[in-house]
Every structure is written in C-alpha cells, then in structure tokens.
Amino acid sequence: MPSVGLPHSMLEAAELIRERRVSPTELAREVLSRTEALQPRLDAFIRITGRRLLDGAASAEEEIAAGRYRGPVHGIPLSVKDLIDVAGEVTTGGGTILPDTPATEDSTVWSRLAEGGATLLGKTNLQEFAFGPTNINPHYGAARNPWDTDRITGGSSGGSAAAVAAGLGLASIGSDTGGSIRCPAALCGVTGLKPTFGRVPRTGVFPLSDSQDHVGPIARTALDCAILLDLIAGPDGRDETVTERTPPGAYEKLAAWSSAQGSSSGRPSLTGVRLGVVRPHRDLARPAVQDAFNEAAMQLATLGAELVGTDLPGEDELTEASMTIVRFDGTRLHAGWFRERPEAYGADLRIAFERVLARPSSDYEDAVRTRRRLSAEILAHQRGLDGLIGPTMLDPAPLISEFADAARAAEARGRLLRLTYLYDATGQPAISAPCGFTREGLPIGLQIAAAPWREVDCLRVAHAYQQVTDWHLRKPPLPA
C-alpha cells in the first residue's frame, strides 16, 4: 500500500480490512514506517512498540482470513497515552519516578480494545504525570505540533493528538482531567471526546484526580470516536465510579441517524436541536478563533439548529475550585515520592507541589463544597438545551519558546485551560472538532457539550458538522 493510500480515518481503514482490500500487515507496516520516520520531528511517542504491532497485525490477518472478523478495530493500529497500562509494557506516566518494570496486566480500556482486535503502535508522550496543558515534558521532550513543529501540541494528551494528526496510527486513547483530550485535539486539528464522568473505567490508568479523571478517544472523526467509546465504556467491576450500565450504542445510533438523513434530504438536519452559545467563551477568544467559531455556529444554524445565547453563572468560580481540587489530589498522590526524591520531578512540577503543600487543607474542603454546589447549578441552567457550543481554546497553538519565561508561561497556561475545565468539573461529556484554521495554518476547535450520559448528542452535532465541512479532512504539511 503506497503512502498516499494511508486511510484518513479508522472507519475507512476498517472497511478496507473487512473487504480484504488491505491487510492488517500492510497497514501496520505503512503506519510503522511513517511513525519511525516522523517521531524524531514530533516526539509524539515515549515508546514505539513495532514488534508487538507487527505480531498483532499478523494474528489479526490470520483470524480475518479464517472468517473470524471481530469488528471495526480488528487489525487497526492504535496508541495509548503513557499512563495507561498495557501488559508487558512499562508505564512511565511521563515521569521517571515510577518503577521501570512492565505492567503485569492490561488496563480495562486496552483490554477491551485488544479484545476487539486492535494492535498497539506505542505509548504516547504526555505532560509529566498529566500536570498541565502544554506537553512540554522535561524527561521525554516536548511533543511538537504537526502543523508547526515550533509550537505546542497542548496537553496533557499531546502525543496522542499529534500522532493522530500526523497519521501515526488511526486513533489514540487519552485522559482528560481539565481539558487534556480536548485541548490537544483542538490545537492539532483532530477530534477528541471526553465522555461523561463514570462512563469509562480508569482501572489501570495512573491517576491525577480520582474525582475528575476521564478516559476517552482521540481520532479523526466523530464516527471514529463513537466506535471507540462503545468499545471502552461500561462497568468493569473494579472502578466504582462507573455506574452507568446501559451501553452508549453511539456508533449504531449515529449510523442509523445518518442513514435516515440520507434517505430524506441528503443533508443532515439538526432541526429541533437547541444549542446554547456560551457567550463568554466566544467573546474572550482571539479574533481568528472568534471568526472560525462564528462561521461554525452559522453552519449549525443552517442545518436547522436553534442557537440561544447563554451565560453560565458561577463558571469562573467553579473552574477555580476544580483546579484547586486537581492540584491537591495530584500533590497528595506524589507527596511521599516528592519528599524522598524531589530531583526526579521537573522544575514546573516541583514548584506546583511546593505551592500546594504550603496551602491549608481547608482550601481543598472549600473547593469540594463549591464544586458540588456550582456543578448542580450550572447543569440545571442548561435545562431546555440539547447542548452548549463555543470555541475549545481561546488561542491557536502557542510557540514552545513562549513557555521559557515564567511570567508569560503562567498566563499562557491559564488561557489554555480556560474553556475546558468547566466540563470536567460538571462531569458532562464534551467533544472538540476541527472548525477552521488561522492565516498561519494553525487549527481551531469547536467544543460541543451535552448533558451527562448524552455523549450521542455531542457526537451527533459534531458528525453533522463534519458531513458538511472538510476541516477534519485536512492534513498537516508533513511527508505523505
């Protein structure tokens, strides 16, 4: 299979494999060759598992030839963020403090993907222990944006987003505690879904904040995200936060909806869908981001959606409370290691730990009460709406060099997380989908949130938008 034939999406690759037009081995070799060629430029991976990938592809090929096709990830090269356990592989968490020994069992999410026949391309780079939004890692290097390698990918799942954007695998699994799936998805021009809190088990995933950690997919399209969500969602009997036992059935629902749309007008319809335009999110963004978002909103209105301007009272206070909880949770998790081996952590993380350790525990208790109260109020404020929309990020991807200066770095980090933290605090699902580019060719993301357990509502709006636009089809200026 020539390089120019690399499938654009996971679903496209699955169809080629199912129809025997491409073999899993051919696909694996193509993806591995591209990954090894581009890894020095992008630093998207902490570990590339080439031998494992090829062995898995060979097994998938034998099964499919024998008529045992497992489904849409069978023989598909995927990656996982390197805080997700895969048996036989070391999990670093993006740091150096964890034991340098292979995991003895799979995380639930990888176990479920492996059962579906997925093959592992590697473990992706991330911000050190997921503490931050830049993916500038002091131990493994800064993951670099495929659209401009002098710029950040966003974090903390930056390696995953860079890999998907660059065609290094067909999708990846990341985590999101304050925006760590949606932030890099937006800055790298791909699609990233943060499911509802309690939808996907975190068993075998190194934590940051137990009350806000989410695991979810990063892919090219909303349809690909739906497929992956269906595979990884549901109780595993070990993560007690996973309470929803009804499978999302996201892909089947989207496919049925698309089929019905195609048999009528041939154009997706969002008639009857009420979307709240979060005015502060739009108004605080840079002009280029505002323009791209306004065009996306107009496109959704053209498809029949009713747009309603809305504010979310208490959002800033909720975001700050949520950040406080995450900082305390993460610091407490690392406190013992930090006291014994402070030099094992990067400078940014050492400073963050020291600041939290100097704060009274009452700050944490106050933040928990504030989050509980304001989350309920903000969710109640959304009643009567099918979703909320706004830009995912205030700015396009900043230059890596901007984070060399401490004062500028602090401001830039705050802006990176300004619009995403809210939906981790409320626990509701949110997706980022590409919606434009700046004049410099940097991607811009559209964020769509819905009520808890309503991932399908997010995915439907994103899928409808992707049916009538081509932003998600564009590829960064890298070798084919």
Active site residues: 81, 156, 180
The Cα-based distances of 190 to 32, 152, 185, 251, 352 in angstroms read 20, 15, 5, 18, 30
Q: What are phi and psi for residue 442, nearest 5 degrees?
A: -100, 135
User: Closest Cα partner for 419 from 385, 438, 446?
Assistant: 446
Distance CA 160, CA 127 (A): 11
The three state secondary structure string of the chain is CCHHHCCCCHHHHHHHHHCCCCCHHHHHHHHHHHHHHHHHHHCCEEEECHHHHHHHHHHHHHHHHCCCCCCCCCCCEEEEECCECCECCECCCCCCCCCCCEECCCCHHHHHHHHCCCEEEEEECCCHHHCCCCCEECCCEECEECCEEEEECCCCCHHHHHHHHHCCCCEEEEEECCCCCHHHHHHHCCEEEECCCCCCCCCCECCCCCCCCEEEEEECCHHHHHHHHHHHCCCCCCCCCCCCCCCCCHHHHHHHHHHHHHHHCCCCCCCCCEEEEEHHHHHCCCHHHHHHHHHHHHHHHHCCCEEEEECCCCHHHHHHHHHHHHHHHHHHHHHHHHHHCHHHCCHHHHHHHHHHHCCCHHHHHHHHHHHHHHHHHHHHHCCCCCEEEEECCCCCCCEHHHHHCHHHHHHHHHHHCCCCHHHHHHCCCEEEEEEEECCCCCEEEEEEECCCCCHHHHHHHHHHHHHHCCHHHCCCCCCC
Q: What are phi and psi of 415, to 5 degrees?
A: -70, -30
Pairing of strands 141-142, 136-137: antiparallel
Q: Which two tokens stand for residue 315?
A: 């959002």
Distance CA 31, CA 52 (A): 13
With contact defined as beta carbons under 8 Å apart, do 446 and 389 qualify?
Answer: yes
